[in-house]
Structure 1
């Protein structure tokens, strides 16, 4: 679990593709350097989020660490655009003594969005994004949470074309990689888990009510149908 509060900007030192015969199964290994401030308590198997993707440390030294990334993760995220020298957001998994300043972030990226606008407003920047997969638009709620490249942000609005916006204050601009990106580039998106959980529970409850002929919903539907039929027969 993560908070979406980026701890450090690291640098991709190596991006290496596995062949299909490798145990990585056609994925990639990525080594990130300039990470010494978050490696003092590191262990093999620890989780570190890189641009919002929860990944497992397989090797590390005093300044760098390595992770393996599966083909499924590559398809879902912007990993394929990484290259040596790219800067990335880093956050360790939360510990018991961490203040929860962002929001509940799993590090399970849902998909990517394209940066479609970047407009200064005072000392803030208003970014606009368009999701690649429209299915996730239903979870975009004004003033709701969203995680973009591992950064917990608040949605300020969404237009009729599905473009949603965030306002990034100056402090955040100095701590994350997004201001280094250009219009047209992609970012990783994790929508707020709360919306997905509520949707799932509503669907399950409705299905249970529909399947049970004696449920309150079934009784209500039957009553409404009978009332309509009575009116038609009069």
Structure 2
């Protein structure tokens, strides 16, 4: 679990594509440096967020660490686009004794998104993002949480009809702390929607399904039946 508060920006020094014959399946490994601040208490097997993707430390020293990237992660995220010199947002898994400054972030990327526009607003910038999977927009709400390349941000606006996109604003301080500020129109970012929205949808769906099956008294089923009967009655008059 993470907070979406980026601790530091690291630099990719090596991206290694793993051959199927080496590990029994396709995958990759990434070596990242310039991140000694987050390696002071590192251990093998620790979870770490790289551009919002929860991956596992498989090797490290005082200056750099290595993570493995599974095929599903490659398909779902923008990590395969990284190469030597790429900058990445980094955050250690949350500890119990720290303040929770962002929101609950799993590090389970839902989809990537393309940057549609970047517009200055005073010393801030407004970014519009179009998700590759437009279906995730149902979880994106104005003034709600969104995770962009691992950074917890606030949604400014959502356009599900025309743009099929959402926007966030990066203030001056945030611009200095995350890699998104240096990206350009057409670049991609990793997106994780708010977990609470997905949990709420599941509970509401189960509630409706149970009511339709009559397991909760059949109230919703009866209500829908009355509407259908009423409409049929009007049509036959």
TM-score, with structure 1 as normaliser:
0.94
Match of 1:206 among 201, 205, 208: 208
Q: Deviation per CA, 1:43-69: give whole Å up to 9, x if none.
A: 001011000000110111001111000
Does structure 2 retain, via aligned residues, the 8 Å contact 1:24–1:70? no
Does structure 2 retain, via aligned residues, the 8 Å contact 1:24–1:68? no
Match of 1:218 among 216, 221, 234: 221
SS at 2:21 equivalent: coil
Q: Which structure 2 residue ranges, 5 or more long, are not aligned? A: none
Deviant stretches of 4+, over 2 Å: 218-234
Match of 2:186 in 1: 184
Quickly say closer, same or farther: Cα 1:230–1:171, change in 2 above 3 A.
closer
Does structure 2 retain, via aligned residues, the 8 Å contact 1:18–1:24? no
Q: Deviation per CA, 1:158-195: give whole Å up to 9, x if none.
A: 23321211110010100111111111110000011111
Does structure 1 retain, via aligned residues, the 8 Å contact 2:55–2:69? yes
CA distance in 1, matches of 2:115, 2:78: 12
1:219, distance to aligned residue in structure 2 (A): 2.8
Match of 1:121 in 2: 121
What count of residue pairs does the alignment treat as equivalent?
234
1:221, distance to aligned residue in structure 2 (A): 3.1
Within the alignment, does 1:167 sit opposite 2:169 as a pair?
Answer: yes
Q: Deviation per CA, 1:4-51: give whole Å up to 9, x if none.
A: 000000000110001112226211000111111011110001011000
Match of 1:11 in 2: 11
Q: What does residue range 77-116 of structure 1 map to in structure 2 within 5 Å?
A: 77-116=77-116
CA distance in 2, matches of 1:135, 1:31: 33
